[in-house]
Amino acid sequence: MFIAAAATACSGTVSNPFFGEYQTPHGVPPFDKITAAHYLPAFEEGIKRQAAEVSSIAASGQAPNFVNTIEALELSGDMLRRVRYVFFNLLEAETSPEMDAIAEQVTPLLSKHRDDMLLNEQLFARIAAVYAQRDSLGLSLEQKKLLDNTYKDFVRGGAGLSPENKEKLRQVNEQLSTLLLRFGQNLLSETNSFRLVIDEANDLSGLPQSLVDVAAATAEAEGCAGKWVFTLKNPSIMPFLQYADAHPLREKMLNAYANRANNGNDKDNNGVVSRIVSLRVQKANLLGYETYADYVLEDCMAKTPQNVYAMLSQLWAPALRKAEQEQRALEELAGRSAAPAPLTASGWRYYAQKLRQQSYSLDDEQLRPYFTLENVRNGIFTLVEKLYGVTFTQVTDVPVYHEDVVCFGANDSNGDFLGLIYMDFFPRNGKRGGAWMTDFREQRYHNGKRVPPVISLVCNFSPATGDAPALLTPDEVETFFHEFGHALHSLFSSCQYRSLAGTNVPRDFVEMLSQIMENWAFRPELLNLYARHYATNELIPADLVDKITASARFGQGFKTVEYLAASWLDMDYHIVKDTVAVDVQQFEQNAMRKIRLMPAILPRYRTTYFNHIFSSSAYEAGYYSYIWSEVLDADAFDQFLKTGNVFDRGVATALRRCILERGGTEDAMTLYKRFRGAEPSINPLLERRGLN
């Protein structure tokens, strides 16, 4: 009754797609009918509706129980969820100045709304009453987990604080929400604003023709016909750093990349980061934690900062030794090429590519013709069918949010529909860098029936040029497999509650299911099923496959060190105990000096463009998660290897039943040990990276 009254009272609701269930195939968002004008009214109404639902739960005259309190809270907020999923996903993938302005308006509203719920004393009293009876309620494992998570969310959200400290926490949360948004906006603006314009063909020396063609097309699109334009987006800058013979231009590109949002202008993130760090310390202290890392990690597999540092230290020494060996080899090669010495960061990828070619007669440009986007996608589909019996079919009757986006439906081996996956592959100015998987609708059960997820896989791959289709680099191939692993985690989910479904697991566990997919990307058994030359349709030659296998450990010192350095930087920021503003550049220098990072290697993310930890609450004090999860994925893939069949259906079925389907319904290590029979060993990871 309240919902109907609210809907008619709000202007413009008749045509606002968010005010009711979507009337589209599979219930996907009606992207073709959504405009920017719909968002703010929908957010305001969605907040209003959930606030009313929460008030009703809190004020109920019935004795609190699991159904009327915990489950009712889980089911609240449908409309707000609909608009949030669409808006924030498109803010990342298809933003605009208008979208940014709306985000600045709604972000503090959402922060306040969340605090209004978590700090509601009447509501928390009911939750606490149910929690106190948890062992006598006869709850299922999943119900117990939902109850446990709900209670902890409220405690960790400040429900037990004094009125004075609750107000302080509200202020901190509101400021943080605005600063995190600003960090991301600044970074996107800085990334988009840089252009390296080349007008002399001699300066293109060493660059592959495919990259030159893209640069020419970019120049023409920007009104610079006859020139070549290179950008800071990965498909442009990374191959430029690998192949460009012009050392000064590589230096210019890398300096621009490494100093994004660190240029003393209105998009500078130094002050933003300093304020975020200080506010996070304040938040942790208010909630009773010594550091923000202690607060975050309590809910993860690692549990404590000490455990994270112990793992990083265990890997750092062998990784640094390996990287130093690699540097000596590169400097020897560079010396023979009469290049500047010692090796600089702008020279590492360039000489590494030359050394790889020299050592293995292999470079990325030899491989790309076999890795068309379509081939790689079909390779992933083939892998998933062989492992799990799942098939994918393109869906053309659903609306999409951009003309580049395609959609596929997934069907299980018994014909059951698992869910939809949108795929958005190419860079554009409205899309942030990187690659990610996200949800437009999470899986759950409703009235005993499984509601399939609607998910999205977003990347920034090399686009088609001229007569050639989109040809992926080996790194992009690996990224595609990685993100599809996240997609499978959501597609296979079979959980009662959406907050426990799919990828809603500890952050240092979630990457296991994406990273394990990378193990198959260049396996000869799979390459022989999907890697065909785009022009001739010839299967990738056996000698090329052998070279891929032989070079698998090449450059692992560099890759491990740059990753671990960023993980260390993240942790150092989040064990800060003082709320005094930090000098960000000095802090970063000190952190890298402490671990003896080599001058020729930059951390994978420097502070002012460390999106993972400063533009969201996704990976702060958690960037270590990738390597923590890699211990798990290497150990898990070892189970396939031991069978002698990397497509072993029995192992795949166990992985699906024990982990992929279960989401966050149980403790992560419990799920893993149920699959593997024991806790993971670090040895398969050391072996894979050549660090043992």
Looking at the annotation, which residues are catalytic? 483
The count of C-alpha atoms lying within 13 angstroms of the C-alpha of 378, restricted to the half-sphere facing its C-beta, is: 12
Concatenating the DSSP letter of every residue in 427-441 gives --TTS-SS-EEEEEE
Closest CA to 293 of 495, 584, 567, 607: 567
Between CA 24 and CA 441 the distance in angstroms is 14
Q: Is the dihedral of CA 19, 24, 26, 32 positive or negative?
A: negative
Backbone CA torsion sign across 412, 630, 609, 460 = negative
Q: At what angle do helices 163-193 and 97-118 cross, to 10 degrees?
A: 160
- The Cα 481–Cα 575 span in angstroms is 34
* Cβ pair 257, 171 in contact under 8 A: no
Q: How far apart are CA 184 and CA 195, in angstroms?
A: 20
Report d(CA 635, CA 651) in Å as an integer: 13
Looking at residue 31, its amino acid is: F
Q: Are 277 and 621 in contact (CB under 8 A)?
A: no
φ, ψ for residue 392 (rounded to 5)?
A: -125, 140
Max Cα–Cα distance, the chain, nearest Å: 83
Kindly report the backbone phi and psi dihedral angles of residue 397, in degrees, each rounded to the nearest multiple of 5, phi listed first: -100, 15
Contact criterion met (CB below 8 Å) for 638 and 684 = yes
Cα gap 273→432, rounded to integer Å: 19
Distance CA 498, CA 518 (A): 27
99, 93 contact by CB (below 8 A): no
DSSP-assigned states of every residue in 418-482 = EEEEEEE-S--TTS-SS-EEEEEE--EEETTEEE--EEEEE--PPPPBTTB--B--HHHHHHHHH
Alpha-carbon dihedral of residues 178, 181, 183, 189, nearest 10 degrees?
-130
